Structure 1
């Protein structure tokens, strides 16, 4: 198997993606881009991916098409994926909405972890089976690794509550993006997003994803 070159609206700092766990994601977020592919097969472990040469000097997003740390994923699948990563000299990004489970594994030395916090508010009809944002932040606090937080797709939020939630994660970087799939999500105004970016920049580095332009480049009424 060959490594997948990162493209589209993926993180600009990621060079490749690699997925051993495939199929439907337990969290079932309504906006998930993977659903566009009709990827509704039962979750499975793709043994062939363990033959993939991950190379050296890459920055690989492991598990970009599923949440490898969701509660329904076999511990054995996760460990085998980590073991394969350890056979190569790369930097790895592990992102999950269930960081409480991620903390139970020893990740490769050169790893960065990330969680998604779309809002401080919990939207059950959008986030479905995902842990509430406050629980994700609480779990991130307990992990002693370099951390990112991704606010994507950004949903309507309460300013001070969201800023404090993000700050509690102690992230070295926050990535902000908008809905790319026309899911008619509750979104904040341009002015509110710009103010949020200003407040976050006071304690971390903020990276705006390309799809955020749809919101922040709007001409105010």
Structure 2
């Protein structure tokens, strides 16, 4: 279910992130295809709350620093350990591929920290990116940490859509993947959700949070290197005392 008012706030933020300059209500309305009345109501409300301001009178609105201070306060209450952030940066540097930390969000995994590859052809992801929990190595590395009862509850929430020919299409198929990963020593994926994308993931549990660390990139570079990537990941996570 999508709440339109909430979605519009996020769309407005993304609009400013792209354009990086003040915009009038008319410019916002035209760019986003919103009715003028709806645009006025949203912008006026955010301005009244201090989240938008006019750098120059009648020169257009721009987000204030209140967004940043609010987000910092939220993040400070539930931070990732510095050792994990450092490990993610090191893994990214050694593998050359986008590396992220995932956490379960219903039938999805949401990336709560991302260190993106600098290669021209790469997996584009950012904090907030969501992937299906059953159709990703990042997701299955979290599922394996759950009890059977917890996993069954998650499976009931999943719509098993065939994103590709390699997408697991049932709870039984996912369970089989978890068993294979246990024997292999790491979770992996090959174009299950995004075409031509290969991933490698490991589970970690920190302060009762079930997390996963995933490295993902083009199959042309990563598919044949999955065991090598998993080894590099384990070395860094062990060195930072994040896994045994």
- TM exceeds 0.5? no
Larger Rg: 2
When you count helix as a share of all residues, which structure comes out higher? 2
